[in-house]
Amino acid sequence: MTSVQSSEGTIPVLGQKLFYREAWPGGGQNSRLSVLLLHGIRFSSETWLKLGTLDTLAQAGYRAVGIDLPGLGQSKEASAPTSIGEPAPSSFLQAVLEALEMGPTALVSPSLSGMYSLPFLIAPSSQLRGYVPVAPICTDKISASDYGRVKTPTLIMYGDQDPMGESSLKDLQQLPNHKVMVMAGAGHPCYLDKPDDWHSGLLDFLNGLS
């Protein structure tokens, strides 16, 4: 099994400090790709630490980074660039990627974090290698023409017990290059309900990108 190194700290983002955690392959191995993990309103980067997602990705050869979004987790003192539920400027995630020097990146975006990920996904400057939305909010704030222009490979994941998964799918399926993975018996935080399915589905998708 690949050894894993990890760290945590803060990064400056648009004049504020955000907390992050990361894990990457040990032994001097180069990472195959960076993966940035966002989170929902009741969660933080600690979710990905406790669930083992950071280590699972690092063991598979990826650099995995979880940030605490503004006003949440250990980034409580940072203020969100827009009100909750409104799309944030794409410059926010661009600044995060630059501060972390992430290079080629896949983005995992559950629930609340859709307000950050979707504007970034459709931005002309976005160079995302992959996108994994998990019942994100704000899908209805993006136009059909904007969805239609996105070339990023996308894996839409949600639990079959989650009405938000179904409603967000109606919008997200307008992305031209998408697959769907529905997790049986899982609710809104489907990754917590079915962690093995979550990790295997996520890795299958990422392995297909790199």
| Residues designated catalytic | 111, 162, 188
The span from the CA of 170 to the CA of 197, in Å, is 23
As a whole number of angstroms, the longest Cα–Cα distance in the chain is 45
Of the candidates 209, 202, 203, 210, which has an alpha carbon nearest to the alpha carbon of residue 60? 203
Helix (H) or strand (E) holding 197: helix 195-209
The edge-to-edge listing of strands for the beta sheet with 178-183 is: 4-13, 16-25, 63-67, 34-37, 105-110, 130-134, 154-159, 178-183
Helix, coil or strand: residue 51: helix
The span from the CA of 135 to the CA of 193, in Å, is 14
The span from the CA of 77 to the CA of 87, in Å, is 20
Phi, psi for 41 (deg, rounded to 5): -70, -30
Cα 164 to the chain's mean position, in Å? 17
